[in-house]
Structure 1
Amino acid sequence: MHILFLTDNFPPEGNAPATRTYEHAIRWVNAGHKVTVITCAPNFPEGKIFEGFKNSWYQTHNLDGINVVRVKTYITANEGFVKRILDYMSFMVTGFFSGLFQKKPDVIVATSPQFFCACAGWALSAVRRKPFVFELRDIWPASITAVGAMKESFAIRMLEKIELFLYRRADSIVSVTHAFKNELIERGVDGEKIDVVLNGVDLSKYEPQDKDTELAKQYGLEGKFVAGYIGTHGMAHGLEHIVSVAERLQDNDDIRIIFAGGGAARQKVVDLVEQKGLKNVVLIDRQPKEMMPRLWSLCDVSLVPLINSDLFRTVIPSKIFECMGMGIPTIMSVPEGEATEIICKTNSGIVVESENVDQIAASIEKLSTDNVLFQELQKSSVKAGPLYSRDLMAEDMSAIFERIRT
């Protein structure tokens, strides 16, 4: 089977969409399938092209058996609604045209979070008369209004019409959460064509390990209890509240808070830490994906926040699965929903109220002193990891492709 996959993000970018696509694709290749990924020059989240790449009209290379096609797009940082739309639309156009030249695909897959990529996938499937799979990673454009990036308007209503059109035209929808599937069914989409394939963890890379002594020494974390936020610094994460947590804990010299990554809200975090003069915060710039296990090893607990919006009841932050693989307990401060259910069901962390600085700070202090509870959550995290193995998820998804191509 030849799987043609369109995605804005792909390694060496290290965000969740890039990681999911890559980790699935290498498993499909290993299973004997041909995989072609159409993407753009890596630039997320700063909007700067990674070293060694060019924003060219058409270039190809092989990555671990995956045929990667990179096309030219309008590149901008992950901030500002109009510029981001231009970025997305440019990939829709160039991704579509490059897809016309790929030989004999059996199935065409396009992934969100935004759906202009899915527009290209649908158009390609219509022209080439191949099944179209919409991988649904986010309910967009609802997430735009949820974070306050744009108010309800005529433009938003038009985007919602396009959104529903794509759902209805897709031969199959692969949702990353059960909540997304339920919402689509409530909006009139045929539930029979919606499958759920959760995010997961590559257990060959993410496994329990001792703290990286070199990095711990470099960042002054030796002998400290470390609570870390690692990943994209986005508007949806409300990281100003985590800065307030650090401020609340600044007199406890046994605890450190780290922020590692980049994104639209990164500078806001840096400015707040500087303004408050916080000495218990360590700021680490975005690192290559291969550095992630080493970075995670620094953390005793992982901080997983989202702002208090009903939309985020349906979101499952993918980093919780990597933390399970490494045996790192999660302190989750998101609206009650599917993600909090997973943490509670697996006993892999502590759930507190979204944006509740007092509860987050208290949980960090609790785990830093209660070794019995900490070890219990560690063991439960390790036990939960295999339930969300990327091997299982990739196999489930390829089975969906086989089903719809027949």
Structure 2
Amino acid sequence: MRVSFVNLFYPPDVAPSGSFVASLAEHRAAMGDEVTVICGSGAYLGRAATRASTSAAKTGLPVEGPRVIRVWTPGLGKASTAHRLADYLSFLAGAAMRLVVSPRQDVVVALTSPPYALIAAVVHRLVHPRARVVYWSHDVYPDAAEEYGTIRAGGAVSRVLRSVQRWLLRKTDHVIALDEAMLGRTLAHARVGLPAGSVIPNWERMSLFPRGEDPEPWEGYEAPELAGRFVVLYLGNLGYGHPTSTITGAAEALAEDGDVTFLFVGGGVRYPELAEEARRRGLDDVVLRGYVPKEVTPSVLAGAGCALISLDDGSRGIMSPCKLHGALASGLPVVYVGPVGTNVDEAIERYACGSSLRHGDVDGLADAVRRLRDDADLAAELSRNARRAFEDAYCDERTLPLFDELFEHLREPRPLWSVRTDRGRA
């Protein structure tokens, strides 16, 4: 079976979407598929990271199974909308051209990085009508651009983008979304001629978090501001959809306790804003560190007392935080601040592995942290539940077979179906 993936990022880049593509692409290659990954030459963290991340896997070289093709992009990063557009458009043009000249693929899987990467997959189908197109949605556009103020909701640009998305979805065989809210929101763009849809959550690799093994905590915990303290860990991107006002309020409330630190390890557009707010309010219990390589994340998680996840109320169905899965894999209780009905809220409700709170509930967040710090039995119970959730629904041993099942049905000429299982709905 010939399978191609289209995504702007791919390892060794740190972008989460790239790690999921790599996991699935390597899995399908190991099963005997002829797998190609079309990604960009730039990097998630911008030009500086590009040089490090492209030292291997140059255009067309096979890398541990999948053939990785890196199309040229300027690598301007995310400093401005113009920089983003330059990277996005150059990648879309290059990916589309690669797929135009490629032999017919049985399946082309397009993700949402960059937005409208689906264009490249549909272009291949226009050249090769027998090819199947799968849209693997990690974000919903143009909804995200409207929600975060990049374009005006209902404006001319929005209407054009919605028309493009509607046309693309009508050329798509199957949509994969990360939770039910995202699937509903994505399919709503099609209006008529809906493709089949599946909910398959993101995951972590079991090999990165093997059963019964406790990694040594990250060396960063030896710093004076972290040593001997109960650490509330936010690991990953702090973007437009991840507000921090409730978090900083709780950090201020807990400062008098003297033994709690809110540790942010990652980056994102809200990082400077958070750093300035912590400085202005004198929050010494808010500590920021940069991104770490993927293989280091188990050690970072191992030193924390709980995992913290924030999601904007308007982001329900637009994004689905993948911070959840590493926390569950590490057996960390999850403290979530955001709307109900998201993948994180549903996992907490289903597996009783943490606390689900709403924005503005500063006292609730502070109390949740204190309970985990002070009640060892409660923390141990939530930890066991978190690991059970990982093994039951959010590891590659559970999710990759769902893709295999879908790909088998994509071989068949009959109408496609929806993967809807309790395991996959979270």
TM-score when normalising by structure 1: 0.92
Q: Which of 191-200 and 331-340 deviates more?
A: 191-200
Contact persistence 1:308–1:355 (CA under 8 A)? no
Contact persistence 1:27–1:391 (CA under 8 A)? no
Distance between the aligned counterparts of 2:15 and 2:364, measured in 1? Answer: 28
* Superposition deviation, residue 102 in structure 1: 3.7
Structure 1: which amino acid aligns with 2:334? T
- Aligned residue number for residue 398 of structure 1: 404
Distance between the aligned counterparts of 1:383 and 1:389, measured in 2? Answer: 10
Deviations 1:124-174 (A, max 9, x none): 221133111111122111112222333222101111111111111102212
* Superposition deviation, residue 195 in structure 1: 1.8
- Aligned residue number for residue 217 of structure 1: 222
* Superposition deviation, residue 268 in structure 1: 1.6
Structure 2: which amino acid aligns with 1:264? V
Aligned length: 404
- Seen in structure 2, the aligned counterparts of structure 1 residues 257 and 284 have a Cα distance that, compared at 3 Å, is same
* Superposition deviation, residue 192 in structure 1: 5.9
* Superposition deviation, residue 392 in structure 1: 2.5
* Superposition deviation, residue 365 in structure 1: 1.6
Deviations 1:77-132 (A, max 9, x none): 33533432332221110111122344453211111155321111111221133111
Aligned Cα root-mean-square deviation (Å): 2.4
- Aligned residue number for residue 284 of structure 1: 289
- Seen in structure 2, the aligned counterparts of structure 1 residues 69 and 314 have a Cα distance that, compared at 3 Å, is closer
- Seen in structure 2, the aligned counterparts of structure 1 residues 193 and 287 have a Cα distance that, compared at 3 Å, is same
Q: Which of 322-331 and 181-190 deviates more?
A: 181-190
* Superposition deviation, residue 25 in structure 1: 1.5
Q: Does 1:158 align with 2:156?
A: no
Structure 1: which amino acid aligns with 2:152? K
Give the alignment of 1:4-403 within 5 angstroms. Answer: 4-53=4-53, 59-129=59-129, 130-152=131-153, 153-187=155-189, 188-190=191-193, 193-207=196-210, 209=214, 212=217, 214-218=219-223, 220-309=225-314, 311-312=315-316, 315-339=319-343, 340-387=345-392, 388-403=394-409
Structure 1: which amino acid aligns with 2:226? L
Structure 1: which amino acid aligns with 2:409? R
Distance between the aligned counterparts of 1:356 and 1:124, measured in 2? Answer: 49
Contact persistence 1:113–1:140 (CA under 8 A)? no
* Superposition deviation, residue 44 in structure 1: 0.8
- Seen in structure 2, the aligned counterparts of structure 1 residues 167 and 27 have a Cα distance that, compared at 3 Å, is same
- Seen in structure 2, the aligned counterparts of structure 1 residues 98 and 192 have a Cα distance that, compared at 3 Å, is closer
Uncovered stretches (5+) of structure 1, i.e. residues with no partner? none
Uncovered stretches (5+) of structure 2, i.e. residues with no partner? 413-426
Structure 2: which amino acid aligns with 1:312? R
SS in 1 for 2:5: strand
Contact persistence 2:77–2:87 (CA under 8 A)? no
- Seen in structure 2, the aligned counterparts of structure 1 residues 378 and 260 have a Cα distance that, compared at 3 Å, is same
* Superposition deviation, residue 42 in structure 1: 4.1
Deviations 1:169-200 (A, max 9, x none): 10221222222223345553555611222112
SS in 2 for 1:374: helix
Deviations 1:197-224 (A, max 9, x none): 2112212112562551633214642321
SS in 2 for 1:60: coil
Distance between the aligned counterparts of 1:89 and 1:219, measured in 2? Answer: 45
SS in 1 for 2:144: helix
Structure 2: which amino acid aligns with 1:158? V
Contact persistence 2:169–2:195 (CA under 8 A)? no
Distance between the aligned counterparts of 2:378 and 2:35, measured in 1? Answer: 44
- Seen in structure 2, the aligned counterparts of structure 1 residues 29 and 54 have a Cα distance that, compared at 3 Å, is closer
Contact persistence 1:76–1:83 (CA under 8 A)? yes
SS in 1 for 2:59: strand
Structure 1: 4+ residue segments shifted above 6 A: none
* Superposition deviation, residue 19 in structure 1: 1.8
Deviations 1:224-267 (A, max 9, x none): 11101110120110134423332222222211110111222222
Identity, % of aligned positions:
23
Structure 2: which amino acid aligns with 1:197? I
Distance between the aligned counterparts of 1:144 and 1:280, measured in 2? Answer: 33
Structure 2: which amino acid aligns with 1:193? A
SS in 1 for 2:117: helix
Q: Which of 139-148 and 325-334 deviates more?
A: 139-148
TM-score when normalising by structure 2: 0.88
Q: Which of 94-103 and 47-56 deviates more?
A: 47-56
Distance between the aligned counterparts of 1:250 and 1:326, measured in 2? Answer: 26
Distance between the aligned counterparts of 2:61 and 2:359, measured in 1? Answer: 43
SS in 2 for 1:109: strand
* Superposition deviation, residue 327 in structure 1: 0.2
